[in-house]
C-alpha cells in the first residue's frame, strides 16, 4: 500500500471515530496508534508516552492556562459586561455593532498570547456570553471567533513564526514585521463580512442605542479604562522585551484580579469558579494537543507529508501553479497536523522549490501562516473548532459550517498577498532595508 493510500485510510478512520462520538483527544491518539502499529516499525507505546510528556512539559504552553484564567476572571467578575457597555456607544452606528469586538479582541489578544488556542478560548469566554445576552446572532459570533482566533499566530510575536524562521534560515525580526499588515488585512476582511452580513440581516442584529453626545459616550466608556490600561501594559512589556509571553500572562491574571477587587466584584466564590473553569478548559486543550502531537509523530514516521511534497516537486510547475498546488497540499495536511508540524515535516522539500521559483522566503512564511490559520478551522482536526465545541457544547461540524464565510476571507487574503506581495514585504523592507 502506498503512503498516500495509508494517509487516506487513517483519515477515514479518524472521520468514522469522530462521527461515532469518540472523544477528540482519544480519536487523535487511537489513529496515531493504528498508524504506528500497522504501518511503521516503531514502538507506539513509547512514542505515546513521549508525546504526552513533551506536550505537558512545554514551556511555551505555560502561558495557556494563565491567559485562560485571565478570561475566566473577566467573565465571572462582570468586567466583561462593563467592557461591552463601554464599547457599545462607539459602535452603535457601525453595521454589526458589538460583533466586531470578537475580531478586535482576538487581534489585540493575539499580539500578546502568540497562540491561537489561548486567543480563541479567552476571547470566547469573555465575548460569547455577552453577545448572546444582548441578542446577537450566535452563529456569526462563533464563526468569527473560530477564524479570528488564528490571529494569535499571525500577529507577532508568534511561536510558529519562530519555527518557520529556523527552518527557512530567515530573519525572525523580518518575519515578525511582515506579519502586521496581513494581520490587519485579515481583521479588515472579517469585519467587512460582518458589516455586509448585518446589512443583509438587520432583523438579527439588536437595534442601536439612542444617540448620545460625546461626553456621555466618554462617561459610559470610563469602565474601559482599567482593562484597556492592563492590555496596553501587557503588550508594552512584551514588545519592550521586559517580559516573556508567560510572564505577560501572569501579569494579566494579577491585573485582572486587582481590577476586579478594586471594583468590588471579586468574591471567593467567583475566584474559585474561575480557577476551576480555567483548569477544565486548559486540561481539555492540553489533552487534545497531546493527542495531536502523537498523531504528528505517526505522520513523520510514515513519511506521508514528505511523500506529498515530493509528488508536488515532481510536477515541474510554473511559480503561480506551484503556489496554487501548495495551497491544496497544506489544506490537506491541515486536516491531520498542527501548524508547527506542517512546517517541520515539509520544509526540507518545499522551501528549495519555492526559492527556485523566485518567491521571497519571508513572504512564503506569511503564506504558510495563513494556511495554518485555515487549518485551525478545517475539519476533522481544526483545533479552534475543538476548543469552541468543548466550551459551548455545539458540534464542531456546525461550527465549521458557520465559519465558512470567514474561511473564504482567509483564502481571499492569500490571493491578495500573492497578487500584491508588498502587503507582506513593505514593512520589513522599509524598516530594515530590502533583503538581499
Contact at 8 Å (CB) between 204 and 141?
no
Chain CA centroid to CA 271, Å: 27
Q: Stretch 379-404: mean pLDDT, rounded?
A: 81
| Per-residue pLDDT at 436 | 45
Encode pLDDT of 335-370 as tens digits: 766 677 677 667 767 777 788 778 888 999 999 999
What are 242's three cell numbers? 521586559
Residue 390 has pLDDT above 80, yes or no: no
Residue 394 burial (CB < 10 Å; 0-12/13-18/19+)? middle
Report the percent of the chain where pLDDT is more than 90.
Answer: 9
Lowest average pLDDT, out of 144-148, 263-267, 333-337, 369-373, goes to 333-337
DSSP, residue by residue, 105-162 = HHHHHHHHH--HHHHHHHHHHHHHHHHHHTT--HHHHHHHHHHHTTHHHHSSS-HHHH
Q: Stretch 379-389: mean pLDDT, rounded?
A: 76
- Mean pLDDT of all residues belonging to the chain: 79
Max mean pLDDT range (25-34, 128-137, 221-230): 25-34
Cis peptide bond upstream of 157, omega within 30: yes
Encode pLDDT of 283-322 as tens digits: 877 787 788 778 878 877 887 777 777 777 777 778 888 8
Q: Distance between CA atoms of 90 and 221, rounded to whole angstroms? A: 9
| Per-residue pLDDT at 420 | 93
Encode pLDDT of 39-81 as tens digits: 888 888 888 888 888 777 766 667 778 877 877 777 677 666 6
**Cβ atoms within 10 A of the Cβ of 345, count?**
21
Q: Where are the domains of the chain?
A: 3-32+43-58+292-389+405-432, 60-283
What 3-state class would DSSP assign to 210?
coil
Residue 111 has pLDDT above 60, yes or no: yes
Encode pLDDT of 170-226 as tens digits: 777 788 788 889 999 999 999 999 999 988 888 887 776 667 676 777 776 776 677
Q: Distance between CA atoms of 33 and 395, rounded to whole angstroms? A: 25
Grade residue 381 by pLDDT with cuts at 50, 70 and 90: low
The pTM score is 0.71
Amino acid at each position: 500500500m502506498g503512503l498516500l493510500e495509508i494517509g487516506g485510510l487513517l483519515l477515514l478512520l479518524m472521520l468514522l471515530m469522530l462521527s461515532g462520538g469518540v472523544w477528540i483527544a482519544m480519536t487523535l491518539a487511537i489513529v496515531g496508534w493504528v498508524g504506528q502499529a500497522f504501518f511503521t516499525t516503531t514502538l507506539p507505546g513509547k512514542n505515546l508516552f513521549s508525546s504526552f510528556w513533551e506536550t505537558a512539559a512545554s514551556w511555551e504552553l505555560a502561558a495557556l492556562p494563565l491567559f485562560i484564567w485571565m478570561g475566566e476572571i473577566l467573565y465571572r467578575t462582570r468586567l466583561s459586561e462593563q467592557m461591552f457597555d463601554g464599547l457599545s456607544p462607539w459602535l452603535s452606528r457601525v453595521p454589526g455593532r458589538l460583533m466586531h469586538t470578537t475580531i478586535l479582541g482576538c487581534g489585540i489578544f493575539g499580539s500578546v498570547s502568540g497562540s491561537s488556542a489561548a486567543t480563541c478560548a479567552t476571547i470566547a469566554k469573555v465575548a460569547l456570553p455577552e453577545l448572546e445576552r444582548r441578542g446577537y446572532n450566535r452563529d456569526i459570533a462563533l464563526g468569527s471567533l473560530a477564524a479570528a482566533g488564528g490571529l494569535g499566530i499571525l500577529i507577532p510575536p508568534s511561536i510558529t513564526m519562530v519555527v518557520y524562521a529556523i527552518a527557512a534560515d530567515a530573519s525572525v525580526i523580518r518575519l515578525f514585521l511582515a506579519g502586521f499588515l496581513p494581520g490587519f488585512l485579515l481583521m479588515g476582511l472579517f469585519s467587512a463580512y460582518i458589516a455586509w452580513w448585518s446589512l443583509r440581516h438587520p432583523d438579527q442584529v439588536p437595534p442601536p442605542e439612542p444617540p448620545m453626545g460625546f461626553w456621555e459616550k466618554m462617561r459610559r466608556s470610563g469602565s474601559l479604562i482599567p482593562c484597556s490600561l492592563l492590555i496596553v501594559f501587557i503588550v508594552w512589556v512584551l514588545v519592550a522585551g521586559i517580559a516573556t509571553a508567560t510572564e505577560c500572562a501572569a501579569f494579566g491574571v494579577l491585573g485582572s484580579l486587582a481590577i476586579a477587587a478594586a471594583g468590588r466584584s471579586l468574591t471567593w466564590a467567583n475566584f474559585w469558579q474561575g480557577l476551576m473553569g480555567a483548569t477544565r478548559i486548559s486540561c481539555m486543550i492540553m489533552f487534545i494537543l497531546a493527542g495531536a502531537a502523537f498523531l504528528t509523530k505517526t505522520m513523520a514516521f510514515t513519511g506521508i507529508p514528505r511523500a506529498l511534497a515530493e509528488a508536488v516537486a515532481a510536477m515541474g510547475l510554473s511559480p503561480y501553479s506551484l503556489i496554487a498546488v501548495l495551497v491544496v497540499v497544506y489544506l490537506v495536511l491541515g486536516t491531520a497536523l498542527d501548524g508547527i508540524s506542517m512546517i517541520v515535516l515539509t520544509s526540507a522539500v518545499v522551501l528549495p522549490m519555492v526559492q527556485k521559483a523566485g518567491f521571497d522566503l519571508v513572504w512564503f512564511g506569511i503564506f504558510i501562516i495563513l494556511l495554518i490559520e485555515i487549518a485551525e478551522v478545517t475539519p476533522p482536526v481544526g483545533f479552534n473548532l475543538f476548543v469552541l465545541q468543548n466550551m459551548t457544547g455545539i458540534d464542531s461540524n456546525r461550527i465549521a459550517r458557520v465559519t465558512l464565510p470567514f474561511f473564504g476571507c482567509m483564502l481571499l487574503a492569500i490571493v491578495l498577498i500573492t497578487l500584491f506581495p508588498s502587503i507582506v514585504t513593505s514593512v520589513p523592507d522599509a524598516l530594515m532595508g530590502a533583503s538581499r
